[in-house]
Amino acid sequence: MLISFIMRAKDTLKDVLFSKFPTNWYLALRNTLLGTLLVALTGCSDLFEPTIGEICEAHSEMCTDLNVDARCREERAQIIRLRYYNKDSKGDAHKYSMLLGFEEYLSCVEVAQHIEHIKHKGKEATRLKGVITAQKEIRRLSRETKNSLDPYLSYYHWSRYNDQEAFRRFERYAASDKVSDPELLVALASVLIKTDQERTINTLYRALSLYTDSEEIDIEIYHSLASIAMDRDNYRLAYVWYGVAEAFDERLPDIQRVQLGERFNLPVNILDSVIEEVVSALKDSTFNAEKLKLKKL
């Protein structure tokens, strides 16, 4: 379902996968996804999409265990729609979206619960009900999906509970040819970077080849590739990735790259051409490390 897809894509980007990777790429992609959602919701197939009120009237069980006041309205609506659109779903795939939805709802309603209402004490009780529901549903869904083969759920159990068996399932999937979501590979690289720099580079190169919009790529991926190259004394490759980072963020100074070229007497004219080729490939969604001959630098 559309809602399930949007939820999955959104939170895959939301998590901070690299300890030194910020989430500035998430904001850009989130806006793109929301725009896609708005376009989709104006399509003919969604002209008769029920409102939250209509869903609750027809399926009260989807709404009565959540808070009923004005707080966390968006998060509550998200849960209700996920329940509605997945009420007949089979398998585990939709449960990833449900887990993320309940996490977001819980985070909001826990804060709202502590806001004191002098005139409306009953609001605290309805929010407590929402907290209890979210905690219970997260526990239930986590139990049900503990051994799931779904890669997103495997990632969830690894990242939330440090489940090593889930990580091994996730790693096997990420290493396969089935991966179409580059963020799964970025997640794998976040682990590999601690122990295997060569695999980290190859995994990030593969992730870069899967992006369809260069604006979705976190610039810190380029910095990490440059950092690894520096650790391996590959100053030519480090020069290239610093240059790529600069190309996608005009605020970055070029002093580090320039000094690198001067200090090690690098063939900067040739490397500047490589930077242009890499940037062009990323913008055209045609990045291929082999064709760009990055491993020969």
Q: Which residues contact 214 (CB under 8 A, 6 or more apart)?
A: 248, 282, 283, 285
CA–CA separation, 55 and 33 (whole Å): 24
pLDDT tens-place string over residues 227-265? 999 999 999 999 999 999 999 998 999 999 999 999 999
What average pLDDT does the segment 123-144 reach?
Answer: 89
- In this predicted model, what pLDDT tens digit does every residue of 65-98 receive, in sequence order? 998 888 899 999 999 999 999 999 989 999 999 9
State pLDDT tens for residues 201-216. 999 999 999 999 999 9
pLDDT grade for 49, boundaries at 50, 70 and 90:
confident
Report the range out of 32-36, 120-124, 146-150 with the highest average pLDDT.
146-150
Q: What is the mean pLDDT of residues 17-46?
A: 44
Per-residue confidence (pLDDT) for residue 71, from 0 to 100: 85
Burial class of 60 by CB neighbour count within 10 A (0 to 12, 13 to 18, 19+): exposed
Mean pLDDT within 48-52: 88
- Residue 115 — pLDDT band, cuts 50, 70, 90? low
* Residue 48, number of CB atoms within 10 A of its CB: 6
Map 68-93 to HEC letters.
CCCCCHHHHHHHHHHHHHCCCCCCCH
In the predicted model, is pLDDT for residue 15 greater than 50? no
Residue 283 has pLDDT above 90, yes or no: yes
**Per-residue confidence (pLDDT) for residue 158, from 0 to 100:** 95
DSSP letter for 49, please. P
User: Given a cut of 80, is residue 2 above it in pLDDT?
Assistant: no
Write down the pLDDT at residue 179: 92
Distance of alpha carbon 163 from alpha carbon 155, whole angstroms: 9
In the block, residue with structure tokens 């480090």: 238
Measure Cα distances from 17 to 160, 162, 201, 218, 240 in Å: 12, 14, 16, 11, 24
Give yes or no for residue 188 having a pLDDT over 60. Answer: yes
The whole-number pLDDT of residue 177 equals 84
Flag the least confident range among 104-113, 141-150, 213-222. 104-113
Q: What is the pLDDT of residue 18?
A: 47
So what's the pLDDT on residue 69? 81
pLDDT at 68: 84
Whether 271 and 243 have beta carbons less than 8 Å apart is answered as yes
pLDDT reported for residue 124: 63
Mean pLDDT for the stretch of residues 276-282: 98
pLDDT of amino acid 47: 61
- Cα of first residue to Cα of last residue in the chain, in angstroms, is 45
Dihedral sign of CA atoms 252, 258, 261, 264 in order: negative
Q: What are phi and psi of 119, to 5 degrees?
A: -90, -20
pLDDT digits (tens, 9 = 90+) for 140-158: 999 999 999 999 999 999 9
Q: What's the whole-number mean pLDDT along residues 127-134?
A: 91
pLDDT > 50? residue 5: no
- Checking if the pLDDT of 31 tops 90, the result is no
